[in-house]
Structures are given as structure tokens and as C-alpha cells.
Amino acid sequence: MKMIPFNKPYLTGKEMHYIYQAVYSGKISGNGIFTRKCQEFFEQKYGFRKALLTTSCTDALEMCAMLAGIKPGDEVIMPSYTFVSTALAFVRAGARITFVDSHKDYPNLDEEEIEKYISPRTKAIVPVHYAGIACDMDRIMDVADRHNILVIEDAAQAIDSYYKGKPLGSIGHMAAFSFHETKNINSGEGGLLAINDDRFIRRSEIIWEKGTNRAEFFRGEVNKYGWCDTGSSFLPSEIIAAYLWAQLENINEIQKKRIALWEKYYNGLEGWADGNIKSLPVIPKYATNNGHLFYLVSRSTDQRANLINRLKENGVHAVFHYLSLHNSQYYKNLHDGRELPNADFFSENLVRLPLFFELTEDDADMIISLIKGL
């Protein structure tokens, strides 16, 4: 029986060619030719003031925490329904996390809930663009501006997605992207820090280069470099950047295929979903769909388990995520005790279907038929 995996990283065919070039260029540590090509691509295509490749989205978020000056006792507001890295980057800096519930109808944080949890200790709001679908950034930026709070977009899933015509990751003061193998554009592991506020540009390079001004030295802007701030070795090797460049060259083709598969799922299940499950994905009018993931929301945990098992029995690997962070083993005793029922509901009932570039239309049709036969 043919097994359809949940994910299969797409290869454009040029990854190994560019990796070969990187290896034989004599410069395979970070910040070489391919790193600069990728960073310039993001700055030019999406208008980020500064783009810095990192070895992961987690690294990019940790850089955000450093740039924001997060220290013990500070508070950071974010959704509970997200991956652990969103919170961990700030918890490591000593912050207390204030979790906000999701919307009732879709997993993004409820923007109307943010302001009531702002305190004198609040330093940042971290909206997560779940499934590449934009949060209402006008509302979030308005709250942040009135309270003099930073906005850090967790755009891990949001490459090439937009809010009212603006690229996600270009609206907040900073943003973090992921190029993990499950993402639209991948380099196995990998990430990007996007800076949109001039205040943080110079320091971001220093933190990125182990707390030194080595990047300025390599550009000939200073005659020597030294240790001048905190930081770490956040920059990836040229091998990762070379792989990523092959993907970026094909971003339009990749996006077109993924969005077509997403729409096939939606159109195939739309009529059936009403009356059989709770919902299909919701895309607000201000947001675009980047085809990152397709999910169903079941009516109960038992229904979700039956769906996943039925698909598995027929050679289809579907998965669920996330477990609400406010109920996690690590943080539940640090949470303020509020119930977040919508986040918990998505934790218990959301299921993700396979969606990757090489998934065929016949595969998608078969998956749709299996779901409808539940």
C-alpha cells in the first residue's frame, strides 16, 4: 500500500549544485555569498529593513528577546496555541508569559483580549500568524503604539503571506521566520530575523556575530573588530544558505502549487464539512492564504482520533498539534490560572492533512474521499 506522508521536503534540483559551489568557494562558514544573496532577496521582495539568516526560527526569536531587552520580571503577551519556541525564547530571558486565548472560530490570538492584560511590566506582544494567516495587525499595532510596547511577529509559518497588502513580518518592529523542512520554503533547519525598526539594525548584526562588530569589519567600515555586546553564533553556514537559495529561486512555483492543493482540499470538503465537523480553515478578509497548511477542526477528540486512524489505515499520515502552552508540564504552574477554552479546543480537535509540493491531485482526491466516508 502506498503511504502518503504528512510532509515531504521539496527539492528544486539545484540545492546540491549550489552547495557544491559554496563548498568549493573556500568560504563555508556563515555570512558568505549565499547568505548575502538570501538576505538581499528578503529585503528587496518583502521590504524588511534588515534581514539576517539564522540557524532556526527559535534562534531568530531569541535574538528578538535580546534586542527587546527582555529581563527577569518583564511580561510578554502571546497566544497559548503555538509552538513552544514562541514562549521559550522569552522565558529563557526571564520573562513571565501572559497567554491570550484564540478566536473561537480560528486559532490566531484574539486581538480584542490583548489590551486587558497589559501591565507596566509588559515589554512585547508576540502575535503568531498560525497557518500563514495574518493576525489583525492594525489592532495589535494600535495597542502597542498607545502603550509603547514592541511587536514581534512570529511568522514561522507565514512566508509570502500578506495583511492588507503588507508582507507578514514587515509590520511589527521585528519578526522571525522558519525554514524547517515542514515549511513552504525549507533548508532542513533554518530561520530568518527581520528587522523593521532602525533602532535595532546595528545591534542585531552584533548579536548575530557573537557579540562582535565583525560584520562591519568585513564590510570595511571599521579597521578591527572586538567584543562589544552580548550575542551568540546565530548565523548559519553557507551550506544551509546555498540550499535555501535554490528554494527562494523557485518560491513562485512552490507557492502556486501549495495554494492550488489547499484550494482543492477546501473546495472538495466545503459542502461536506457543514454538518459533519466543526469547521474548515477561516481566512479573514484582511489576510491572504500562503498554502502553508490545511486543517480540519473536529467536533470532539474522539472524532479526531477516528479520522486520523481511518486515514492511517488507508495509508495517509495526518497529525495534530499544538498542546496549549498554558497547560504544559513546564509552564502550567507559572500560568496565572485563567482558563483559555478556545486554545484548549483547538489542541483537542484540530487535525492537519498532508500538504507538500509533490502531493498529487489524485492523492488529494483520495484523501478527500476517505474523510467524507468517515
Domains of the chain and CATH, by start: 15-249 (3.40.640.10), 251-372 (3.90.1150.10)
What integer best gives the mean pLDDT of the chain? 96
What are the residue ranges of helices labelled H in the chain? 15-24, 33-46, 57-67, 84-91, 137-147, 201-208, 214-218, 238-249, 251-273, 301-313, 341-349, 361-372
**Which tens digits make up the pLDDT trace of 244-303?**
999 999 999 999 999 999 999 999 999 999 999 999 999 999 999 999 999 999 999 999
Checking if the pLDDT of 216 tops 90, the result is no
Give the three cell numbers for residue 229.
555586546
- pLDDT attached to residue 241: 98
Averaged over 101-110, what is the pLDDT? 98
> Binning pLDDT at 50, 70 and 90, where does residue 2 land?
confident
Contact 296, 265 (CB under 8 A): no
Per-residue pLDDT at 374 exceeds 80:
no
- pTM exceeds 0.85 for this model: yes
Q: Which residue has the cell 495597542?
A: 143
Kindly report the backbone phi and psi dihedral angles of residue 234, in degrees, each rounded to the nearest multiple of 5, phi listed first.
-90, -20
pLDDT digits 0-9 by tens, 22-76: 999 988 998 999 999 999 999 999 999 999 999 999 999 999 999 999 999 999 9
Say if residues 213 and 226 touch (Cβ distance below 8 Å): yes
**CB–CB of 320/307 below 8 Å?**
no
- pLDDT surpassing 80 at residue 100: yes
In the chain, what percentage of residues exceed pLDDT 70? 100
Q: What is the pLDDT of residue 28?
A: 94
pLDDT digit string (tens) for 111-128? 999 999 999 999 999 999
